[in-house]
Structure 1
Amino acid sequence: MTSSHPSTVFEATYRGEPHVGFGRADTSAGLVNLYRSKDGLLAQSIVNTDGSADAIRDIIAAGHNPIVVAGDDPELRLRPPLLTGTNGNALLSGFMGTHKKKWDGKSAPDNGEFTPPKWFFKGFGDWIRLPGDDLNVPAEPLALIEEPEVVLVYINDAEGTPHYAGYTFGNDLCDIGLHRRDPGYNPYCKLCDTVVVPLLFLGEPPTTVNGQVNIVRNGQTAWQGEFNCGTDALYYRVSDMVEHLFSFPALRRPGLVNYVLLGADEASFHDGFSIVDGDRVDIHVRSHDVRFENTVTYAASPALSAASA
């Protein structure tokens, strides 16, 4: 990461207690500085300040000295940004068909009525997976696709007003084969696990995001490709998409966290590649020095109990 990128913050539990850290959350090596916190304090500090790193640090660090923890300490567990322990207090959703590449390289006209992109619901906050977790998909998918994306993070205050917190990155794994068979099947298509990086960039949505995907099978690279998912690559303006999305009261419930996926570039599926059970998807966001990987796992369908008479 270069100095041109905004400051970062992350949340974790250490020995079962909530903590907040500033800078990078690298649990694979090195040392991590943590401030003892309480559940939801980071979200409150964003809502009650200008959301800058200095303002947040003033609240988080007040009366606390940081503790230094080994990055590979087994008692250190990272958490998705702003996700508290309350079940269902967050929604993961996103937009489809947002990239210029899917609009013949064009951008939305400055004048005229805004026509919003298609939107999908991916799951609740506790459905989110972290780097290193297995990504479960239904057994026998038609055609899986990895989708490296920018994830915008919002927190609603007590009155339901959304506050932009920052952004991170994720992989919106889905069964594009179902969508291609029938667009009406898209809700089924999205019922695959999604990974979100547990690192919050405290800045405006990034204009430039680029990197590389490596899909590893049996220890060897089976497919490799580049991606670009910054706002400069989008047909739509983010402000228009977000303003329309939050016009729906259901997304403005007090205290609700919204993770909003901005859409993906073309990926392995468009190159004729098929992801299979056991493949490891390694995503390197080179522009921001972020790397995460997850293994795709086919989940067997359970036997359903017979309905009672």
Structure 2
Amino acid sequence: MRLIQLVDDAGEARVGVIDRDGARVRVLGSSRTTYALATAAIAANRDLEQQAAQEQGDESLDYATLLREDRVLTPLAHPDPAHMRVTGTGLTHLGSAATRDAMHQNLQDHVNAGSLTDSMKVFQWGVEGGIPRQGRPGAQPEWFYKGDGSVVVAPGQTLPSPDFALDGGEEPELVGLYLIGPDGTPHRLGFAIGNEFSDHITERQNYLYLAHSKLRACAVGPELRTGSLPRDLSGTSRIRRGDTVVWEKPFLTGEDNMCHSLENLEYHHFKYAAHRRPGDVHLHFFGTSTLSFADGIAVQPGDCFEIDLPALGAPLVNPLQTVAAGFALGGVRSL
């Protein structure tokens, strides 16, 4: 099932189910948000598809019009953004076959020379043990925090890059969407396309700056796909500058293209009790192997990111804009 959150013709937030051909959106009758729909499903011991069937309404809207008019919201949010955690894991993807061979060769060169960096060590641990076996967790991945719900941008909306940033580049990724149940059980609602959006120049200065580089906005949507995913997913990431495509590259994701299983990545996120607080929402980015920055692309304000992963529905499109950070040296007031 493909779900979206939308603004209806009356200007109200609603939940819709996209029909099989992707042309129309059936608006649900009672739950006004995906959060409310999922909460009702958990309470009734149903899955999302069953709950949506219980709430099916008569109103139908044109999906292309909703996208064109920027009336599609992020597919999951919390009524209080402070109760939404946006996080991710890195060094999880092997990339294409050619990239995989190059990575393995590079890794072996470092092993032979006894010169593994900390990043290469974490990647090696994932390659060797990123999948649980015999009921035991696999290796821990790299993990990072991006912010709360206030950093998430809807499809079509501007991705803001603070004026102190050294770069603002796309990262095309799968995102897992979760709601913590009343008993502390994490419930995966499904998956969406994400643009994790990071400051790669800051990160490359020193790997200890990774945490700084990730504290940026991100975009998620337009759709939430319920259920399991194909193991092999392919998409295209591109950057448009006006009418010109200045960069375009295919990317691979899904478990066949990862050194960690999704189960392992979920375990290492939710094993922390603080990440299992009832009622909280989590958006978790699963990593990528394709970046325009790695190809020497320097983005500019006004550039438009487009991430197309057909298995997850319509592309995620967002323009880039530099914004004032709103804080200056000496801005802390003593009481």
TM-score for the superposition, normalised by structure 1: 0.85
RMSD: 2.9
Q: 1:92-131, aligned counterparts within 5 Å?
A: 92-101=86-95, 104=104, 107-109=127-129, 114-131=138-155
1:168·1:201 contact (CA, 8 Å) conserved in 2? yes
Q: Distance in 2 between matches of 1:171 and 1:70?
A: 25
Q: 1:44 aligns with which of 39, 45, 51?
A: 39
Please give the per-residue CA displacement for 1:36-95, whole angstroms capped at 9, x wherever unaligned.
323543112442434252x1223323xxx3213354369984332332422322111100
Residue 294 of structure 1 aligns to which amino acid in structure 2?
N
Q: Which moved more, 1:189-198 or 1:253-262?
A: 189-198
* Residue 323 (structure 2) aligns with: 299
Q: Distance in 2 between matches of 1:84 and 1:8?
A: 19
**4+ residue segments displaced more than 6 Å:** 73-76
Q: 1:64-143, aligned counterparts within 5 Å?
A: 65-71=57-63, 72=65, 77-101=71-95, 104=104, 107-109=127-129, 114-139=138-163, 141-143=165-167
Structure 1 residue 229 corresponds to structure 2 residue 253: yes
Distance 1:248 1:225, change over 3 A: same
Residue 37 of structure 1 aligns to which amino acid in structure 2?
S
* Residue 22 (structure 1) aligns with: 17
3-state SS, counterpart of residue 212 of structure 2: helix
Q: Distance in 1 between matches of 2:246 and 2:91?
A: 26
3-state SS, counterpart of residue 72 of structure 2: strand
* Residue 3 (structure 1) aligns with: none
Please give the per-residue CA displacement for 1:5-49, whole angstroms capped at 9, x wherever unaligned.
xx21222343354422112699xx964321232354311244243
Q: Distance in 1 between matches of 2:235 and 2:188?
A: 25
Q: CA deviation at 1:286?
A: 3.4
Structure 1 residue 57 corresponds to structure 2 residue 81: no
Distance 1:17 1:215, change over 3 A: closer
Q: Distance in 2 between matches of 1:306 and 1:127?
A: 21
Distance 1:46 1:232, change over 3 A: farther
Q: Distance in 1 between matches of 2:212 and 2:185?
A: 31
Q: Which moved more, 1:17-26 or 1:203-212?
A: 17-26
1:209·1:287 contact (CA, 8 Å) conserved in 2? yes
Structure 1 residue 273 corresponds to structure 2 residue 266: no
Q: Distance in 2 between matches of 1:218 and 1:173?
A: 20
Residue 181 of structure 2 aligns to which amino acid in structure 1?
D
* Residue 4 (structure 1) aligns with: none
Structure 1 residue 204 corresponds to structure 2 residue 228: yes
Q: Distance in 2 between matches of 1:261 and 1:276?
A: 24
* Residue 239 (structure 2) aligns with: 215
3-state SS, counterpart of residue 60 of structure 2: strand
Q: Distance in 2 between matches of 1:34 and 1:24?
A: 11
Q: Unpaired runs of 5+ in structure 1?
A: 1-6
Residue 77 of structure 2 aligns to which amino acid in structure 1?
L
Please give the per-residue CA displacement for 1:246-272, whole angstroms capped at 9, x wherever unaligned.
110111010111111100122211112
Distance 1:57 1:113, change over 3 A: closer
1:155·1:164 contact (CA, 8 Å) conserved in 2? yes
Please give the per-residue CA displacement for 1:188-208, whole angstroms capped at 9, x wherever unaligned.
211222110031111124412
Distance 1:178 1:282, change over 3 A: same
Distance 1:287 1:115, change over 3 A: same
Q: Per residue, is there more helix in 1 or in 2?
A: 2
Please give the per-residue CA displacement for 1:102-144, whole angstroms capped at 9, x wherever unaligned.
7529844465873211111112123211111110112253333
Q: 2:215 aligns with which of 191, 195, 208?
A: 191
Distance 1:164 1:45, change over 3 A: same
Q: Distance in 2 between matches of 1:113 and 1:84?
A: 30
Distance 1:308 1:179, change over 3 A: closer
TM-score for the superposition, normalised by structure 2: 0.79
Residue 44 of structure 1 aligns to which amino acid in structure 2?
T
State the number of aligned residues.
297
Distance 1:288 1:57, change over 3 A: closer
1:90·1:124 contact (CA, 8 Å) conserved in 2? yes
Residue 104 of structure 1 aligns to which amino acid in structure 2?
H
Structure 1 residue 160 corresponds to structure 2 residue 152: no
3-state SS, counterpart of residue 184 of structure 1: helix
Q: Which moved more, 1:168-177 or 1:180-189?
A: 180-189
Q: Distance in 1 between matches of 2:193 and 2:6?
A: 17
Q: Distance in 2 between matches of 1:153 and 1:307?
A: 35
Q: Distance in 1 between matches of 2:41 and 2:70?
A: 24
Distance 1:253 1:307, change over 3 A: closer
* Residue 121 (structure 2) aligns with: none
3-state SS, counterpart of residue 240 of structure 1: helix
Q: Which moved more, 1:260-269 or 1:107-116?
A: 107-116
Q: Unpaired runs of 5+ in structure 2?
A: 106-123
